[in-house]
């Protein structure tokens, strides 16, 4: 017999409440406790993803709790969960479903227009016509039609030393979370080195390989794309920066240099921006990228 929606809400609220109470007993900073009533609304149920898995230990009466928590603090992997017979406990299943939903949202949500405009970018689109096509036709995410290619050429500075642009990739959430910090950080670093930087813009439905078309179109010496990474169950906000020195269409992937895991739980955006600027400086000095770059 299927459970009613109200009954499901009650179960979710009770499980989350138990997790929160256990964390609060360990002096963890988590979302506030709730009172389970006969009738629950959506806003009454706390966000289960606010519980920090690095400090939450679901194993009852662990033999070496301190060592277990020390290990959990070093990774976002799902360590220290328990079971009911041969199955996960309900709280583990709920957290898995919630984190999976975050990852799905990261893939299928578009970057809001206000985010693009607030970062001073104009928008172009690859040959993909929809998110579904982007996921099923990676080749089209590396190409532009004549109209969009013409827009890039007309709006951007020709032959820049460094061309930087942003792309949604597989996580629009990554750009929403990091772009406003990482791009100015890179720009500031390049300004310190005295490099000429091209006109930044945004590419919708873009794959990494689209940067090679852009490099050839603008005759850029170094091209950098800030792109959303494939999200996982740890975070949906991770961004990567791919860089090439005089890239060209059809080049080997080994010719790209990448800085990955740019997010609050990895390399912070401001720090990553400064690091990327330093790498670009080395690329220009050595006239190389990818495996040919010695850093």
In the numeric block, the tokens 């689109």 are attached to 125
- Domain check: are 118 and 185 in the same one? yes
pLDDT at 39: 57
The end-to-end CA distance of the chain, in Å, is 62
Structure tokens at 290: 């990818």
pLDDT at 285: 97
- Give the chain's domain count: 2
- Domain check: are 81 and 188 in the same one? no
CA distances in angstroms from 258 to 94, 117, 130, 241, 243, listed in the order given = 34, 26, 27, 5, 6
- Domain check: are 96 and 138 in the same one? no
pLDDT at 27: 47
Q: What residues are paired with 167 via a beta bridge?
A: 203, 227
- Domain check: are 83 and 119 in the same one? no
* pLDDT profile of the chain (295 residues), mean per 10: 66 68 54 50 70 84 89 84 86 84 82 93 97 94 97 96 96 92 96 95 97 98 96 83 97 96 91 97 97 94
Is residue 222 within 8 A of residue 280, CB to CB? The reply is yes
For the chain, helix (H) and strand (E) counts, in that order, are 9, 8
Domain boundary at 79, 107, 135, which? 107
**Where in the sequence is the domain holding 152, given as residue range(s)?**
113-292
- Domain check: are 140 and 215 in the same one? yes
Domain boundary at 84, 107, 130, which? 107
- Domain check: are 118 and 68 in the same one? no
- Domain check: are 133 and 164 in the same one? yes
- Domain check: are 83 and 117 in the same one? no
- Domain check: are 121 and 264 in the same one? yes
- Domain check: are 103 and 153 in the same one? no
How many angstroms separate the CA atoms of 226 and 239, rounded?
7
pLDDT at 59: 87
Looking up residue 267, the CATH number of its domain turns out to be 3.40.50.11240
DSSP secondary structure letters along 246-271 = S--TT--GGG-EEEEEESTTSB-HHH
CA distances in angstroms from 193 to 186, 197, 279, listed in the order given = 11, 11, 12
Domain boundary at 75, 107, 139, which? 107
16: nearest Cα among 48, 63, 39, 50: 48
Structure tokens at 247: 């890239």
Burial 68-92 (b: 16+ CB within 10 A, else e): ebeebeeebebbbbeeeeeebeebb
- Domain check: are 80 and 168 in the same one? no
- Domain check: are 101 and 129 in the same one? no
pLDDT at 19: 65
């Amino acid at each position: 017999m299927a459970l009613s929606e109200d009954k499901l809400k009650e179960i979710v609220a009770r499980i989350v409440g138990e997790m929160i109470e256990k964390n609060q007993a360990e002096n963890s900073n988590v979302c506030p406790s709730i009172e389970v009533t006969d009738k629950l609304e959506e806003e009454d149920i706390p966000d289960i993803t606010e519980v920090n898995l690095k400090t939450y230990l679901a194993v009852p009466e662990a033999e070496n709790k301190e060592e277990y928590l020390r290990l959990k603090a070093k990774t976002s992997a799902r360590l220290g969960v328990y079971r009911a017979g041969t199955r996960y406990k309900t709280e583990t299943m709920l957290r898995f479903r919630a984190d999976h939903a975050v990852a799905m949202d990261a893939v299928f949500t578009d970057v809001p227009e206000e985010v693009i405009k607030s970062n001073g970018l104009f928008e172009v689109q690859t040959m993909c016509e929809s998110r579904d096509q982007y996921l099923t036709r990676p080749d089209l995410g590396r190409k532009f039609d004549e109209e969009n290619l013409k827009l890039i050429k007309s709006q951007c500075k020709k032959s820049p030393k460094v061309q930087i642009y942003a792309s949604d990739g597989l996580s629009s959430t990554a750009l929403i979370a990091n772009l406003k910090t990482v791009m100015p950080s890179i720009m500031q670093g390049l300004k310190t080195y005295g490099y000429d930087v091209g006109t930044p813009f945004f590419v919708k439905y873009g794959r990494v390989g689209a940067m090679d078309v852009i490099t050839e179109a603008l005759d850029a010496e170094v091209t950098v794309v800030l792109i959303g990474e494939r999200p996982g169950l740890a975070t949906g906000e991770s961004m990567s920066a791919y860089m090439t020195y005089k890239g060209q269409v059809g080049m080997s992937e080994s010719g790209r240099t990448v800085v990955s895991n740019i997010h609050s739980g990895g390399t912070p955006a401001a720090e990553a921006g400064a690091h990327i600027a330093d790498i670009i400086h080395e690329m220009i000095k050595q006239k190389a990228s990818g495996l040919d770059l010695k850093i």
